Amino acid sequence: MGLMHKTVIGADELSRFCDSVFASFTRFDQRQWGKVYVRGLVEVEGRKSVRRIGEHVLGRRADQCIQQFVNQSPWDCSPVRHHLADQVTAALAPQAWVVEEVALPKTGRSSVGVERQFAASEGRVLNCQLGISVVAAGARGCVPLNWRLLLPPTWDDDVARRTRARLTDEDKHVPWWCSVLDAIDEMTGRWQQKPLPVIVDARTQTAVDRLVRGLESRGLRYAVRTDPRTPVVSDGLARSMGSGAITLRWWDHRASRPHYVTSHRAGKVIAEWAPDLRRPRSVWLTNLEAVRPPALIELLALRRRAGGDLVELGERMGLRHFEGRSFQGWHHHTTLVSIAHAYRVLHHR
């Protein structure tokens, strides 16, 4: 792929961090182009195109080489994400894994997984890719560790688009809850990460019961936010209003008003109330009965913090700036963005 500028192969802090997360790369050129891309994501202001990354990091254009590394080079994301997870977990001691939807607006129809679809994170229908990220979240910061791209059903039989995006026969539409469980299974299985409570906002999703059953069957602790009108929560919500309920008041500084949580240990339901509403603002299905209410509220609040960090990834770290169209390239790009964000969190917080 050609020779590189000497600053890329230096022994500075960012290079050492990249060496640790790229430990699975057997080829020197892959490690070096990985450093180029991550450095560009960290340092380039504004849009992080491959042209601007090359000019900033190398002092010259290197579009073809950078595109080759991100879109065509056959490196496996999983061990890179595994190394990243080990570093993040050791440094941040996260309290939960927060599952967040990520919508990436696109023009045209060729980019992998793009379709006009409803994005809960945007609150509207738009032409976009939809992904999910499992974010390690805690008081010291948040870093996305694992990713899944949600392929719309329309992509299953679209041979032309599948070919351009280099999808395999196994790359098909699966329900969102299956993608969530698959990402977590990779983390607890192949990566051997110690399981943390799983926090999921599923208010706009269907089949919430299947996600909950999947988490239960794996022995995972969880809190799944759902719409109070969802049938799966109606009985438990009724119980949480009965005898034995615990009600806690706290002040929401962002909304400048008090809120209330009512919980019932046996019902596995947390109902979040605002004083001016007749029905709960949201309901959480949870098996975190042993967690005291104040600590549980802090745990659930991590979802908002993780969502805020993903917004930063989109705007500041280049998550929305991916120029490729392939399935493999999407996963490479999201992995490299996670590394760049982790470096900022771990070394510059």
The whole-number average pLDDT for the span 143-159 is: 97
Alpha-carbon span 280 to 271, nearest angstrom: 6
Residue 315 in this model has a pLDDT that exceeds 50:
yes
Structure tokens at 57: 């990091």
Domain ranges in the chain are: 6-72, 77-194+306-348
Integer Cα distance of 344 and 304 in angstroms: 19
State the residue for tokens 């929305």. Answer: 320
**Which residue's entry shows tokens 């910061």?**
141
Q: Which residue has the higher pLDDT, 234 or 346?
A: 346
pTM, full prediction? 0.89
Dihedral angle of Cα 226, 230, 231, 234, to the nearest 10 degrees: 70
Classify burial at 74, counting beta carbons within 10 Å of its beta carbon; exposed 0-12, middle 13-18, buried 19 or more: exposed
Mean pLDDT, the chain, as a whole number?
A: 86
Q: Comparing 93 with 316, which gets the higher pLDDT? A: 93
Q: d(Cα 45, Cα 52) in Å, to the nearest integer?
A: 9
Alpha carbon distance 208, 213 (integer Å): 9
DSSP run (H or E) holding 128: strand 124-138
Contact criterion met (CB below 8 Å) for 337 and 78: no
Give per-residue burial for 295-327: e unless 16+ CB within 10 Å, then b: ebbebbebbeebbebbeebbebbbbbbbbbbbb
Query: What pLDDT was estimated at residue 247?
Result: 53
Question: What local confidence, expressed as pLDDT, does residue 286 receive?
Answer: 87
Instruction: Taking the CA atoms of 236, 238, 244 and 250 in sequence, report the sign of the dihedral they define.
Output: positive
Question: Is it the case that residue 279 has pLDDT exceeding 80?
Answer: no
**Rounded distance between C-alpha atoms, residue 198 and residue 216, angstroms:** 11
Closest to 270 in 3D by CA, of 214, 226, 305, 302: 226
> Is the CA virtual torsion 335, 42, 322, 75 positive or negative?
negative
Mean per-residue pLDDT, 118-126: 91
Would you give the DSSP letter of residue 320? G
The secondary structure element, H or E, covering residue 123 is: none
- Which one is predicted more confidently, 5 or 72? 72
Predicted local confidence at residue 238, as pLDDT: 46
Span 4-61, pLDDT tens digits: 444 444 458 999 999 999 999 999 999 999 999 999 999 999 999 999 999 999 999 9
- Mean pLDDT for 198-226 is 93
- pLDDT of 273 higher than 80: no
